[in-house]
Amino acid sequence: MELDKTKRFLRHLFRSYYLENRVWLPSDFHMREFAYQPWDSNTYKRHLSFKTVNEVHRLLSTVAPRHFYYSSAKYEYPDEPDMDKKGWLGADLIFDIDADHLPICQSKTIELTIAGGEKVELVDEECIRYAAFEALKLYDALVYELGISKHDIKIEFSGNRGFHVTVYLNVDDMWAKALPVERREIVNYLKAVDLLDETLNPSVDVKRKKRVIRIVPTATMGGLRGRLSRIAILIAEKKYGNKDIAKMLAKREVISWKFLKDYFGDLVETIFNNAREELAIHVDEQVTIDIKRLIRVPYSLHGKTGLKVAPIDPQKLDSFQLSPDLSPFQKHDKITVVALVDTPPISVLGLRIRLRRGENYRLPAPQAVYLMARGLTMVK
């Protein structure tokens, strides 16, 4: 199948990127199945295995695939085509957070129809920031509630509309052997499924005074109480600019609701009500329970956007936003494209634009590549 001019152009750009840049691979990559999608096909080339980093680099710089993946699972025979004969040894714990799946963003997508009747959904860029907050909540829960080492957790912007969070595990780790039913329990816990209200309302029995005092959940408490408090700390600081409340919630001391409300007023209740609404962590259950999932390779390019699958420092999640910095083509000359569809005003990596079918647009390379990869424009 011969590629059209735009796909040839994009493949050329992807090849130039892979010639100069290396993807990130875990130390056990030789135990994983790899797969890629070429530009001239809707199917994937699967059951690939590599012994050296140079072999991976050679494939990428030669084929310059549209999408590139490796498995969360480790196998005895990763290149065996029969899944039942691969010899499953264990799998990383993986989570996927998509902005368009968040309740707050359900109505914030624009659906367009491109060539061949294919539907393309554009997500409000503000929703990517909400997804980043979900990723931060997830990281916090993995570390402070499930006891997972920070060094084992990697977070990446997916290259499109969300984030991937991976807990890298050795094959002899108990978590690596967890089957779908056990991984679903983890998801249910993260989503706070069937949560009882009293779980979030701790109290202490003051025997001397023969009464029970309601106390405030603090960050050092275990489980969902600690999560609620840590979310409240973030909201107090980021949304309300109140560091005093945040500092108090971070202490190990037992604090009564009465004391906190007498000191700070109704703002405390408002902050905790906001935190309760954010308590559930919205991860894609089907991704987490799949013990043979293919996931995007860090620093590979996403074929529907031209953006990098970029590792993100957890400390920078609360300031994350879509920008041309996520594109490897920032230094490329401007590119002239022709619109293939009419759109309402949309934001593309921070650039506001409205496309009119048949009109030419000379755009910075990151935005031009994004629109071509989405199928909304073609190269002139």
Q: Look at residue 251 in the predicted model and tell me its pLDDT.
A: 82
Q: In this predicted model, what pLDDT tens digit does every residue of 48-100 receive, in sequence order?
A: 999 999 999 999 999 999 999 999 999 999 999 999 999 999 999 999 999 99
Task: For residue 145, report the phi and psi dihedrals to the nearest 5 degrees.
Answer: -110, -40
Average pLDDT, the chain: 93
Residue 349 lies in a domain: no
Whether 92 and 220 map to the same domain: the answer is: no
pLDDT-derived band at 200 (thresholds 50, 70, 90) equals: confident
Q: Look at residue 2 in the predicted model and tell me its pLDDT.
A: 53
Provide the number of structural domains found in the chain: 2
Q: Tokens 């797969």 label which residue?
A: 35
DSSP, collapsed to helix, strand or coil, labels residue 77 as coil
Contact predicate 306/13, CB 8 Å: yes
Whether 72 and 94 map to the same domain: the answer is: yes
Q: Is 284 a catalytic residue?
A: yes
Interaxial angle between packed helices 257-264 and 267-277, expressed in degrees from 0 to 180 and rounded to the nearest 10 = 120
Lowest pLDDT segment from 176-180, 231-235, 299-303: 231-235
Whether 260 and 321 map to the same domain: the answer is: no
Whether 99 and 241 map to the same domain: the answer is: no
Q: What is the token pair recorded at 139?
A: 């990281």
Mean pLDDT over 139-146 rounds to: 96
Whether 225 and 318 map to the same domain: the answer is: no
Mean pLDDT over 282-293 rounds to: 98
Q: How far apart are the first and last CA of the chain?
A: 21
Whether 111 and 162 map to the same domain: the answer is: yes
Whether 9 and 128 map to the same domain: the answer is: yes
Whether 223 and 131 map to the same domain: the answer is: no
Whether 177 and 289 map to the same domain: the answer is: yes
Whether 171 and 78 map to the same domain: the answer is: yes
Q: Which of 252, 277, 302 is the last residue of a domain?
A: 277
Q: Look at residue 206 in the predicted model and tell me its pLDDT.
A: 52
Name the catalytic one among 98, 124, 140, 290.
Answer: 98
CATH number for the domain harbouring residue 54: 3.90.920.10
Give the closest residue to 124 by CA, choosing from 108, 145, 140. 108
For residue 46, the one-letter residue type is: R
Q: According to DSSP H, which parts of the chain are helical?
A: 5-20, 53-63, 125-144, 180-190, 223-238, 243-250, 257-264, 267-277, 285-289, 365-373
Mean pLDDT over 166-182 rounds to: 97
- Statement: residue 374 has pLDDT above 60: yes
The CA distance from 288 to 72, in Å, is 10
Lowest pLDDT segment from 28-37, 164-173, 205-214, 260-269: 205-214
Q: Is 96 a catalytic residue?
A: yes
Whether 100 and 243 map to the same domain: the answer is: no
Name the catalytic one among 28, 100, 173, 284.
Answer: 284
Q: Which of 251, 277, 303 is the last residue of a domain?
A: 277
Which stretches does DSSP call E strand in 28-136? 34-37, 45-48, 67-71, 73-75, 88-91, 93-98, 109-113, 119-123
Task: Give the β-pairing of 203-206 and 211-214.
Answer: antiparallel
Contact predicate 238/274, CB 8 Å: no
Whether 170 and 267 map to the same domain: the answer is: no
Name the catalytic one among 92, 96, 124, 140.
Answer: 96
Mean pLDDT over 160-165 rounds to: 97
Q: Identify the domain containing residue 129 by its residue range.
A: 5-189+284-327
The CA distance from 26 to 56, in Å, is 12
The angle formed by the CA atoms of residues 157, 160 and 163, to the nearest 5 degrees, is: 30
Residue 380 lies in a domain: no
Q: Look at residue 16 in the predicted model and tell me its pLDDT.
A: 98
Mean pLDDT over 202-223 rounds to: 71
For the CA atoms of the chain, what is the radius of gyration? 24
- Statement: residue 196 has pLDDT above 80: no
Full-model pTM: 0.92
